[in-house]
Amino acid sequence: MIWIITSPERIYEEEKIIADLLQAGAHRILLRKPGWQPREYMALLDKTDPACYARIIVRDNFQVCQRFPVGGLHLSGKIRESMNCRELQLCLQRYRNCSTGIHDMADITSMAPQFTTLLLSPVFDSISKAGYSGRFAQSLPDKKGRQVLGMGGIDASNISRLKDWHYDGAALLGAIWQQPEQAVNNYQRIQAQWNSNDHP
């Protein structure tokens, strides 16, 4: 399973690239634009083919999730930690598919079970964030049935190692958006490496 996280920057014809990446087989697109206001997310989604909405996850924007029939909500660690237990439980009940980012292996089993996907980072040295060094290039502990995607520094040269370490897939950012005009080709190369290492 491969998710793609959007670039924090504006990308020319991004709505078309998102549709092309989903058409090429990306499992989910995580719409994450830290500097954007809800209206900017909505403007991008207004230009995006509605057939894509069910496979788009929106980060931290409840207003956007209420306006568009997207596939789920992603909570950043900052937002998740700002909620009290009741607020978090209500959020997890409201949104059928909720994911969150984690930065400690112990969080795999301590997160609320309603989180359908956990993004653990950084696995390798980040491509998009200078100085963000890898910490989780190793086997995961017992996941207790949790779905964990590796994030950070993952590209065609190393994605095959994640299966040996019991990751369920990867979330890609830098390997896709360093060359937006090559986004789909780069994704397909990475996907081919992931698929070629399927274990029997």
- pLDDT at position 196 is 86
Q: What would the mean pLDDT of 116-145 be, rounded to a whole number?
A: 91
- pLDDT at position 63 is 93
- Whether 14 shows a pLDDT value over 60: the answer reads yes
Instruction: Evaluate if pTM is beyond 0.85.
Output: yes
Give the 3-state secondary structure of residue 67. Answer: helix
Give CA–CA dist 162/143, Å, rounded: 14
Mean pLDDT of the chain: 94
Q: Report the chain's C-alpha Rg in angstroms.
A: 16
Neighbouring residues of 1: CB distance < 8 A, sequence distance ≥ 6: 27, 147, 149, 168, 169, 170
* C-beta pairs of 181-188 under 8 Å, 24+ apart in sequence: 183/17, 183/20, 183/21, 184/17, 184/20, 184/21, 184/24, 186/155, 186/156, 187/2, 187/4, 187/21, 187/24, 187/25, 187/26, 188/24, 188/25
Domain residue limits, the chain? 2-196
Give CA–CA dist 7/5, Å, rounded: 7
Q: Which CATH number fits domain 2-196: 2.40.37.10, 3.40.50.720, 3.30.830.10, 3.20.20.70?
A: 3.20.20.70
- Whether 158 shows a pLDDT value over 90: the answer reads yes
- Whether 200 shows a pLDDT value over 50: the answer reads no
Q: What would the mean pLDDT of 128-151 be, rounded to a whole number?
A: 91
Angle between helices 183-196 and 14-23 (to 10 degrees): 20
Q: Which residue from 142, 162, 141, 138 is spatially nearest to 150, judged by alpha carbons?
A: 162
Residue 87 burial (CB count, 10 A): 11
